Amino acid sequence: MLHDPAQLDLMFQALADPARRQMVERLSRGPASVSQLAEPLAMSLSAVVQHLNVLEASGLVRTQKIGRVRTCQIEPKALSAAETWINERRLAWERRLDRLGDFLAESKDET
Amino acid sequence: MLHDPAQLDLMFQALADPARRQMVERLSRGPASVSQLAEPLAMSLSAVVQHLNVLEASGLVRTQKIGRVRTCQIEPKALSAAETWINERRLAWERRLDRLGDFLAESKDET
DNA sequence: TCAAAACTGAAGCATTTACTTAACTATTGA
DNA sequence: TCAATAGTTAAGTAAATGCTTCAGTTTTGA
């Protein structure tokens, strides 16, 4: 599950659009309806729904419809998958730089 | 600089492709030439160069050409911009959930 | 009851993406 | 010197993206 390439594709792709990031920012401050998400965005409601579908497919956002209102909220776990991938890369190159540092320090000692 | 939407677009877009993530993973273990990056990928060298251009434009990767070999390495600072954005969202909803928890606890007291 | 509110879905369109092949330019090692 | 190596660039293409408009469907409040 974790590290599924296709899952990460969808996640990063979802975050690669400013409108969708804005929607995620809004939702990180609390649940919202589709209309509320649309309000600050300069595009049709239809376009917002399409962005929302992308976010939902990526697992970043979960929605439930009650009556005629669809309420959206962030799925915290999903975001951490992206975070984990980035952290692992960072760890890898930090470890590498440490080893490199050690190597250089040793080389210096050997003069 | 930090939080520049266009910059984040490029970054997340760059990470939204499995081939490019694989290249980043390879580079997080140390510098590599274009051919070395291409070796595990089932696509033409030309395609790899194009992916590399995307990574370079996003700021995630820096390259320098010496002789006929282009050597590529990760730009650590760039990755942390994406990390920061994600962390801020996580912080926002964690704070919100805390407040919500407090509110629910208080409501309970008031019975 | 019935118009307004809140979406939803389909079709169309311009742009971007992710490749391909092919032709090209430097560098280098024997 | 000169063929192999390493990469670059351009052109073409199929598919995906990010919108639009328009024509629905449910719900709901007066």
Of A16, A76, A87, the CB nearest to B93: A76
Enumerate the residues of chain A whose CB falls inside 8 A of the CB of residue B75: none
Domain residue limits at B26: 5-109
3-state helix/strand/coil string of B6-51 = HHHHHHHHHHCCHHHHHHHHHHHCCCEEHHHHHCCCCCCHHHHHHH
pLDDT, position A2: 59
- Residues in reach of strand C, judged by a CB distance below 7 angstroms, are A 33-36, 45-46, 49, 52, 65, 68-70; B 13, 16-17, 19, 42-44, 46-47, 50-51, 54, 66-68
* Tokens matching residue A71: 């309420």
pLDDT, position A103: 72
A69-74 and A32-33 as β-strands: parallel, antiparallel, unpaired? Answer: antiparallel
- Give the integer Cα–Cα distance in Å for B81 and B59: 10
pLDDT averaged over every residue in chain A? 91
pLDDT, position A94: 87
Q: What is the CATH number of the domain that holds A34?
A: 1.10.10.10
Beta carbons within 10 angstroms of residue A24's beta carbon: 24
pLDDT digits (tens, 9 = 90+) for A19-44: 999 999 999 999 999 999 999 999 99
Of B16, B27, B79, the CB nearest to A9: B16
Give the number of C-alpha atoms closer than 13 A to the C-alpha of residue B16, restricted to the C-beta side.
17
A111 pLDDT exceeds 70? Answer: no
Number of domains in chain A: 1
- Give the integer Cα–Cα distance in Å for A21 and B9: 9
Beta carbons within 10 angstroms of residue B67's beta carbon: 5
Preferred mutation among B26, B72, B89, B90 to probe A, highest tally of A CBs within 10 A: B89
- Give the integer Cα–Cα distance in Å for A35 and A80: 27
pLDDT in single tens digits along all 111 residues of chain B: 557 889 999 999 999 999 999 999 999 999 999 999 999 999 999 999 999 999 999 999 999 999 999 999 999 888 889 999 999 999 998 898 888 777 767 766 665
A91 pLDDT exceeds 80? Answer: yes
Task: State how far residue B74 is from chain A, nearest Cα, in angstroms.
Answer: 8
- Give the integer Cα–Cα distance in Å for A99 and B47: 33
According to DSSP, residue A14 is labeled H
Span A55-63, mean pLDDT?
97
